[in-house]
Chains A and B, each alone.
Chain A
Amino acid sequence: MNKTTPIAIFIVVLLAAGGSFIWFVESSGSSGSTNFSATYNSTQLIVLYANAEGWNYNSSHPNPTLYEKTHVLLEFKVIEQDNLPHTLTINPGINESSTNTVLSVNIPAVTGSVVWVNWSFANPGIYTYWCEVHPETMVGKLVVNSTSSNSTNASVVSSVPPQVTNLISYSSSVHYKITVRDEDDEVW
């Protein structure tokens, strides 16, 4: 055996292990650990129907403007309506942007599919929620106001403009009932 072989292997092992460790923990660019869901003290359920014509197209307010608060866990329940692929993408600002997103999830293209995604905002501002497949039709605004500390549940509810309350069923605790379709009950 060549004398350099163990030395080389030793160095390779140390460099590979150390280098990989740094690579693993290094925060990765724009989508890195800066984008954390903020801490929260209450939760809010938001139901959105994904339809290529527009979010909640069959309701009285398609593509509703949502008014929310910082430090509230927003629980988006996204329901597929038309068998087409959709995403729920949220980015800061009034324009759609797929590079600087807060979150982006795929919605399965099977009618009735439900995707849950939770987020709580740390910073107030205007955000855009949209579908990357149907950016023209499926796009709405999400206005996030800052929470005055220890705001009670009631004040959060009352700050929601009346026209959107029918879309947002507020739940004051983390517990809510998930409705399971009948077929899912069968024992395999």
Chain B
Amino acid sequence: MGFSFVLAVFGSTIAIIVIMGFLLYYFAVDYRKGLLGDTNSALPKTESNTMLSRMRRELSFSAFMMDDSKSIGIRYIVTSIVLFFIAGLAGIGMRLSLWFPNPSFLTPIQYNILLTAHGTLMLYGWAVGGILGLTYYLLPTSIKLRKDSLGTVSSIMYWMYLVGALLLIFSKSTATWYFYYPVVDQLTASGGGSYSFGGLIGVMLILTATITACIIFLKMIFIDRDKSIRLSSLPLFAWSVVSTAFLIISSAPVSMIADGFLIYDLINPIFFQGANGTALAYAIMFWFWGHPIVYVAVIPAFGLIYELLPRFTGTKIYSYRAGVLSLLLLMVLSGTVWGHHLFNSGLGTVWDLIFSTTSFIVAIPSAMSVFNWIATMWVGRVRMSVPVLFIINAIIDFIIGGVTGVMLGDVGVNQLLHGTYAVTAHFHFILLGLTTGMAFATFYVLFPTLTGGRNYNIPMAKVHFYLTSIGTWIMSGFWLVGGFAGMPRRVAGYFGIFQTYQDAAAIGGVVLGIGYLIFLINFLYSAYKPVETGTGNALEEEAVA
């Protein structure tokens, strides 16, 4: 991307026009008035924000101009969905290019750009962003928020997240989502590229936004919740947010410090380069956050299952206490297992065994949750509506992903499977089935509210479910088998013996893509439907209409 003066002038002119248009619009249109009426919109901002955040709010672009929690939630939800589709298309592109053993329509550089974009955008943009969105949207009603303050901070943090995501897209880094040192600093065309600057700064911006949002969540839960809700009856979703927030606040800064050193290293490499043995230091600091982030992507999904299951089975959750215990144990234990990503990096046998043991132990709270859900479904009567299908699929996929995770956590097995598609299969089962599946299940639950009283088309939603469920199985399943046969991950081409697995997985990827496209079409279709139901939803009975 050569620097062009004309382009810079042209680009900044357009940017200024867009920003001025936005500001004019912002000052001309007063959405508060429309939503709250004349008298209430004149209240101080914290109070009117609190009223706004108690309402059932629908999707609207005015969310980008207000800063109550629900509006911020809508912003994050919309943005993260867009990022999901960007990263998803990148994933499908990689899959299709791997149809033939030799690199086909993607050169290795292009493949690595897509790989990095897919990994970073899926994790930081979709998983983290989607979770922030759902939390901002659901938390105020679930804990009957008394005071919705700090809206300005949340708003600024959203814009930082957006700029970070744009930087991740524009950077075209090839350093993968690890940004490991030697790779990040190869200034050749085929190396990590000086583009890594943009990617690293993007990650830093997103992490800053995430940490700040988590502090705000903790403040909401522990200080500003309604006094009628005791800690002992706090909704399980709120507990999952507590667990996630502590996890993020305690681990993300370590990775940010490492990223800061790394950015300096790109100018003058003195911190993490190989010769003085500190390349491993970056890896350690990265994984100290790198493992928690994967649990950050699942714990809120756990919370959503805990909230949704009772509503669709007509019983209470089988054991509330076990649920809380499991969520809090996950918070503590998943901070202790990061070394299982470095079994082959020379931490030493003793450390390897310690991290292997903690990895086995972390399966216990995960299994506690799984059994809790199964017991709840066992006791109650399950109605097979679309969200329930997603929940059941999420539980099954999480079991597969968890079991393969424990297998990977064995030092010996890890020697064989590290760096193969078995790892990729392990986490796609969970991230597709549980994280993404629960996010979409929640979107379906919130559908009438978000669209102002419109229903989704149920057959289409079922097709979406079956395609994504089957697609996940085909893709991750064949990756798993291929991985056990030694199929290496992160390559733009491969040995011919693996072609069966790769081609089957490519079909799975396409099936997944069609499934998500059908969700989008279903959503588009709702625009042409009349308002047919109330705007209530199962998750927010208490909200005022």
Query: Which A residues are within 8 Å of any B CB, using their own CB?
Result: 1-10, 12-13, 16-18, 20-21, 23-25, 27-33, 35-37, 80, 85, 87, 102-110, 112-115, 117, 119, 183-184, 187-188
Of the candidates B81, B89, B90, B189, the one having the most CB atoms from chain A within 10 angstroms of its own CB is B189
Given contacts A13-B82, A103-B188, A187-B346, whether A114 and B89 have CB atoms under 8 Å apart is no
Determine which of B59, B88, B190, B275 lies in contact with A114 in the assembled complex, contact meaning CB atoms within 8 Å: B275
Residue of A1, A7, A30 ringed by the most chain B CB atoms within 10 A:
A1
Nearest B residue to A114 via CB reads B275
Please, how many angstroms separate the alpha-carbon atoms of A105 and B117 in the complex? 23
B473, CB-defined interface residue at 8 Å: no
A-B complex: 7 closest residue pairs judged by Cβ atoms? A113-B275, A1-B452, A108-B273, A187-B348, A35-B189, A6-B527, A108-B269
Asked, given contacts A25-B106, A108-B275, A110-B270, whether A7 binds B524 with beta carbons under 8 Å apart, the answer is yes
**B355 CB, min distance to chain A CBs, angstroms:** 12
Nearest Cβ distance between residue A84 and chain B, in whole angstroms?
A: 10
* Nearest chain B CB to A58 CB, angstrom units: 19
Q: In the complex the two chains form, is A108's CB within 8 Å of B270's CB?
A: yes
> Could you tell me if A28 and B523 are in contact, using CB atoms closer than 8 angstroms?
no
User: Are the CB atoms of B90 and A20 closer together than 8 Å?
Assistant: yes
Comparing B108-116, B197-205, B328-336, B395-403, the segment that makes contact with chain A is: B108-116
Q: How far is the CA of A152 from the CA of B349 in the complex (A)?
A: 45
Q: Does B85 contact A (CB under 8 A)?
A: yes
Q: A107: which B residues are within 8 A, CB to CB?
A: 269
What residues of B have a CB within 8 angstroms of the CB of A27 in the complex? 110
Query: Which of A1, A21, A33 lies in contact with B454, CB distance below 8 A?
Result: A1
Q: Is the CB of A37 within 8 A of B270?
A: no
Complex Cα–Cα for A105 and B277 (A) = 19
Chain B interface: which size bin? 35 or more
Say yes or no: A17-B86 contact (C-beta < 8 A), given A1-B60, A5-B59, A105-B188.
Answer: yes
B90→A188 contact, CB < 8 A: no
CA distance A108 to B266 in the complex (A): 10
Partner of B110, one of A1, A4, A16, A33: A33
- Interface check B451, CB cutoff 8 A: yes
A115: B residues at CB distance < 8 A: 273-274
Q: Given contacts A13-B82, A109-B269, could you give 14 more A-B pairs where the C-beta distance is less than 8 Å?
A: A1-B60, A6-B59, A16-B82, A23-B169, A24-B90, A25-B113, A29-B1, A33-B107, A36-B189, A87-B187, A103-B189, A114-B275, A187-B348, A188-B348
Task: Tell whether, in the assembled complex, residue B90 and residue A6 are in contact, meaning their CB atoms are under 8 Å apart.
Answer: no
Q: B288 to chain A: closest CB distance in Å?
A: 15
In the docked arrangement, what's the CA distance between A87 and B90, Å? Answer: 33
Interchain CA distance A23-B58 in the complex, whole Å:
33
What is the 8 Å Cβ interface bit string for chain B, positions 235-273, against chain A (1 contact, 0 not)? 000000000000000000000000000000010111001
Pair A1/B82 contact, Cβ less than 8 Å: no
Q: A113-B273, A114-B275 are in contact. Are A24 and B82 (CB under 8 A)?
A: no
- Asked if A10 contacts B186 (CB within 8 A), the reply is no
Residue of B nearest to A1 (CB): B452
- Chain B nearest CB from A113 CB (Å) reads 3
Contact between chains at B186 and A105 (CB < 8 Å)? yes
Cβ–Cβ < 8 Å partners of A25 in chain B: 93, 106, 110, 113-114
For residue A102, which residues in chain B have a CB less than 8 angstroms away from its CB?
188
User: Which of the residues B59, B86, B269, B528 comes within 8 Å of A20, measured between beta carbons?
Assistant: B86
- Whole-angstrom distance between the alpha carbons of A67 and B113 in the complex? 34
**Chain A neighbourhood of B93, CB < 8 A:** 21, 24-25
Smallest Cβ-Cβ distance to B524: which chain A residue: A10
Contact of B2 among A6, A30, A35, A109 (CB under 8 A): A30
Q: How far is the CA of A8 from the CA of B82 in the complex (A)?
A: 12
- Given A5-B60, A20-B86, does the pair A13, B520 have CB atoms closer than 8 Å? yes
Q: 0/1 per residue, B443-472, Cβ < 8 Å to A? A: 000000011101000000000000000000
Q: Is B218 an interface residue (CB 8 A)?
A: no
* Cβ-defined contact, B269 with A103, below 8 A: no
By the criterion CB–CB under 8 Å, are B188 and A104 in contact? Answer: yes
Residue of A nearest to B110 (CB): A25
B275 touches A80 (CB 8 A): yes
